[in-house]
Amino acid sequence: MAARAIWRGQIRLALVSIPVELYPATKSGAAIQFHQVYEPTGQRIKYEKVVPGIGPVDRDQIVKGYEVSKGHYVLLDQDEIDSVKLESKKTLDLVEFVDTHDIDAMYYDKPYFVVPADDLAEEAYVVLRDALKAAKKVGVGQLAMRGQEYVVSLKPCGRGLLLETLRYADEVNKAQSYFREIGNEEPDADLLDMASMLIERKSGKFDPSEFHNRYVDALHELIEEKQRAKGEKIIQDPDANAPPPRGSNVVDLMAALKRSLNNGEENGGKAANENKRGAAKKTAAKKPAPRHAPKKAPAKKAAAGGRKR
């Protein structure tokens, strides 16, 4: 469990209040972040706040601006922005309950584990959890947190409860505008039958541990290999300890489906498992060099940094 809850308060259902704590349910530490480094000295590239025609400016001269038309801004300082922030409420009122399938997956944003704050809260917490399970419903309400107001859902998650922030309606694009050009023709019956057979053959329970980000794994291996390699130098930034500053391809669908089915029959369970793992995205392909770009000599040195899904 996280060392510190990001929110403490109570869930209120009519006259019942349940003290709870909120903890992030996800993390993004697996990703790799690269920094730009000046190779001759090993110093990290810095960025300055620059005004065209003026040059670098002090941070205390910078305010936030909202563009109301091209090149025209309404300026706001931080005090004005802070004045309209909402005070974090210590109560989440569940105002309605909906069927689990009523909330489209596109509206779900970020998940949090909801934990009873103490032993006295546990009984009411368990009652709410089991009541939601029995009704197959999701609780919906609004929560003020970190100066903003969120629409949230609350649903059972194993032995506990999961709270998820939801996107507002104006944050979600309408699917119709993207799918309107897709025709209404019925698919070929034979194609549909074979696709259904393939789906049935590969059906199973989702196990996220079977999938790995092969691109990130390969980068880790490359970085470790360069660290071990003789003659490779780890560059140290002399400023590191300084205090911080303020398509067109046409596919024969029938043939592809037949190949998929035949491949499964020949290779049995082994092929099914390999194909399931292969469903993860392929390693990102290298971008092609610009048409007229001169060829570059192989890089002798590389530097990488890490960061905090």
Q: What is the mean pLDDT of residues 202-214?
A: 84
The C-alpha atoms of residue 33 and residue 44 are separated, in whole angstroms, by: 13
Q: In which band, very low, low, confident or very high, does the pLDDT at 177 lie, cut at 50, 70 and 90? A: confident
H/E run at residue 8: strand 7-13
Q: In which band, very low, low, confident or very high, does the pLDDT at 248 lie, cut at 50, 70 and 90? A: very low
Q: Is the pLDDT of residue 269 over 60?
A: no
Q: What is the mean pLDDT of residues 22-33?
A: 81
- Which residue did the predictor score with more confidence, 269 or 279? 269
pLDDT per residue as tens digits for the range 78-107: 888 878 776 667 889 898 999 989 999 999
Q: Which residue is associated with the tokens 């669908």?
A: 253
153, amino acid identity: S
Which tokens sit at 73?
């801004």
What share of the chain in percent tops pLDDT 90? 29
Q: What is the mean pLDDT of residues 67-88?
A: 82
Q: Which of 202, 194, 197, 200 is nearest to 279 (CA)?
A: 202
The C-alpha atoms of residue 100 and residue 123 are separated, in whole angstroms, by: 24
At residue 3, the pLDDT reads: 64
Q: What is the mean pLDDT of residues 45-59?
A: 87
Q: Is the pLDDT of residue 21 over 60?
A: yes
- Which residue did the predictor score with more confidence, 270 or 135? 135
Region of poorest pLDDT, from 9-13, 183-187, 210-214, 286-290? 286-290
The C-alpha atoms of residue 154 and residue 152 are separated, in whole angstroms, by: 7
At residue 230, the pLDDT reads: 62
Q: What is the mean pLDDT of residues 26-37?
A: 80
At residue 59, the pLDDT reads: 83
At residue 277, the pLDDT reads: 54
Q: Is the pLDDT of residue 55 over 70?
A: yes
Q: What is the mean pLDDT of residues 205-232?
A: 80
Region of poorest pLDDT, from 79-88, 97-106, 259-268, 284-293? 284-293
At residue 208, the pLDDT reads: 81
- Its pTM stands at 0.62
At residue 241, the pLDDT reads: 67
The C-alpha atoms of residue 141 and residue 151 are separated, in whole angstroms, by: 6
At residue 282, the pLDDT reads: 45
Strand spans (E) along 135-247: 137-145, 148-157, 160-166
Task: Show the domains of the chain with their CATH numbers.
Answer: 7-29+85-171 (2.40.290.10), 190-199+212-233+255-281 (no CATH)
* Under 8 Å between Cβ of 86 and 149: yes
Kindly report the average pLDDT of the chain as a whole number: 79
* Under 8 Å between Cβ of 168 and 183: no
At residue 243, the pLDDT reads: 62
276 φ/ψ angles, rounded to the nearest 5 degrees: -65, -45
- Residue 118: helix, strand or coil by DSSP? coil
Q: Is the pLDDT of residue 279 over 60?
A: no
The C-alpha atoms of residue 161 and residue 279 are separated, in whole angstroms, by: 30
